[in-house]
Amino acid sequence: MLLNTPPAPTLTPKLIPHSSLPNLSFPPSTFLPKSKPTRTPFLLRAMIEKETPEAHRPDTFLRDYDASSSSSLSVRNRFEKMIRDVQDSVCAAIEAADGGAKFKEDVWSRPGGGGGISRVLQDGSVWEKAGVNVSVVYGVMPPEAYRAATSANGNVKPGPVPFFAAGVSSVLHPKNPFAPTLHFNYRYFETDAPKDAPGAPRQWWFGGGTDLTPAYIFEEDVKHFHTVQKRACDKFDPSFYPRFKKWCDDYFYIKHRNERRGLGGIFFDDLNDYDQEMLLGFSTECANSVVSAYLPIIEKRKDTPFTDQHKAWQQLRRGRYVEFNLVYDRGTTFGLKTGGRIESILVSLPLTARWEYDHAPEEGSEEWKLLDACINPKEWI
């Protein structure tokens, strides 16, 4: 090895509970055992009906009782409004940076309630692929999905668990290898299981994060990005940034490579040990900070001249992105186990990626510096 690679951690990085909603941005169907279809309860059969394409965006995807005037101040209602506002603002900023390309939009609903908006921009002048998705989901989690999405005690086997989920999820892949990829998602999740049901307690939680994945390090860019994350965190609790920065480094760890996917940011999940209003405000602040954290970097780097060698390195790093998302990401696992909308589950993948046999960058090179920072996480601010 050319890099000063530390020994593999003695503990596997924590499997973060409830990181399902990046892919619940396109809601899951209920997974059904195929061995005994005739014994499937009616409710479960009803919940696997396909999405219905819609010609127009509705004012809300909430069920009538959640969208009623008496519920207008509910967390469900306000969180849906927040994620749809964030989708609009991020998409507007992405289109403005590109200068020509527009998002393709798909709107869909589900017979059991809920729906979503998928927006994807491909092959623009700046963006190779940019996806910004929102969803509101009512469903029933099978036991397999509940265990995949949570840290539930494996000795207690829950039955099917009704749930509500809403989230905004995005991955932005620029063409220029000097412009970094960005991922963010913010989500709210409730289980509707009867109170004190064995193995599936009734509960709510928030999750989310924003992380940066460059192919080349510009230290001023990384510092700017992390400074914006810290500023958002510090408005609510000064312990949040160091705690969620480490959580991000641990979560986006590619175990079989002994390296991180990128240069981190913040990540949190299963968060319900603070006041619910405070966490709604915190999630909103973080989501609203995406444009200011990322777009100044894109404007600075999108037209930087590059060579075929630079592009090849970017494609190798994109390969690492694919490996993490397909092998380790809990959202992908959850979406596949619950029969989710496959185009939405895999929207995070770049159009192009590259794998080379036994590739190692030259020690001291700019490529080596990036890889070293992915192996040895740094404190950027």
Three-class DSSP category at 171: strand
What is the number of H-type helices and E-type strands within the chain?
A: 13, 10
Which residue bears the tokens 């390090």? Answer: 217
Q: How far is 334 from 314, CA to CA, in rounded Å?
A: 28
- State yes or no: is 56 an active-site residue: no
Torsion sign, CA atoms 146, 149, 152, 155: positive
Q: How far is 50 from 112, CA to CA, in rounded Å?
A: 10
Q: How far is 155 from 316, CA to CA, in rounded Å?
A: 41
Strand partners of residue 168: 134, 186
State the catalytic residue, choosing from 18, 173, 183, 226: 183
Q: How far is 343 from 27, CA to CA, in rounded Å?
A: 11
Strand partners of residue 167: 135, 187
55 phi, psi to nearest 5 deg:
-80, -25
What value, to the nearest 5°, has the Cα angle with vertex 208 and ends 353 and 8? 60
Max distance between CA atoms of the chain, in angstroms, equals 63
Residues identified as active-site = 183
